[in-house]
Amino acid sequence: MEIRVQEILKAKLLLYFKQIKKRKKKIILKKENEEDIHKFRTYMRRVYSLIQEFNNYIKNSDKARFYIKEIFNYTRKLRDRDVLYLLLNEYTEQKENCEFLKIKEQILKERKKYYKKFLTFIHSKKFKKIFFKIKSEISLKEKPDSEMILYILISKYYQLFSNSYFYKELNFENLHTLRIAIKRLRYVFELFKNDLNSREFNNIINRLADLQELSGKVLDNHLMLEYLSQFQDEKIKNFFQQQLKEKIEIWNQKILEFYENKENDIEILKSLFK
């Protein structure tokens, strides 16, 4: 099957840039909007993933990735505080004790500080300059063919299981690295979703999305426990420790299922490009 790779890449990148500008406007108008900040970061991540995976076909991809990382520096801590606040609201015990209120107050205080920095940044000439540089640096230098796309998809798929972090202890750093690999693979697969129009291919994408979401929940609990280390309340810590344990059990089951399906998934990919 011949895939219109060049057209798809151009169309997707254009769509993502439009969404980034749209989310920026919403953030400025609405303010304190966690969802739009999350979407802003997600579309930036999608651009980053595409130019990362297709770097051999995109001019100045290294420069573009450098500029995107600079934007992420302004969103990372803000995103973490949003996650911490949402997680804290899942705490089912008594929420009126002094320690709980102290934690909540500190998270909100820190979020306000990081949000102010982020809002100042996206209003600035620096952001406009960086955003313009990202767009101007990205252009296709050659047209990848369908055979090369199949190679990229399969090699990235196998990379999930070949890298050493897959087999290491499930700590924050290893899972974070694995989640990035899952996310990038999913974004590349989604690029060809409409053209391949395959139920089996869509099923692989859905399972990748489930793994990405679940790994995010495990990492968020890791983040919460690390944040709570500065406080004294053991009851709150124990609650999130139990939450983490339950999520890790589900994760171990899901990643094992995905691993056991890998050869079948590879055959599906091969069949789509015949």
Q: Assess contact for 217 and 180: CB atoms under 8 A.
A: no
**Residue-level pLDDT at 3:** 61
CA distance 217 to 224: 11
Closest CA relative to residue 11, chosen from 57, 50, 44: 50
Q: CA angle, 266 as apex, 261 and 267 as ends, to 5°?
A: 100
Query: What are 58's strand-pairing partners?
Result: 140
pLDDT at 139 over 80: no
Please state which of the ranges 96-105, 166-175, 253-262 shows the lowest mean pLDDT: 166-175
**Residue-level pLDDT at 15:** 92
E strand or H helix at 194? helix 193-196
pLDDT at 134 over 90: no
Q: What does the pLDDT look like over 143-193, one tens digit per residue?
A: 666 677 777 778 878 777 665 455 556 677 778 888 888 888 899 888 888
CA distance 254 to 186: 16
Band of residue 95 on the pLDDT scale cut at 50, 70, 90? low
**Residue-level pLDDT at 152:** 77
Full-model pTM: 0.85
pLDDT at 31 over 70: no
Q: What does the pLDDT look like over 33-82, one tens digit per residue?
A: 788 898 999 999 999 988 888 887 787 888 888 999 999 999 999 999 99
User: In the block, which residue shows the tokens 């982020």?
Assistant: 118
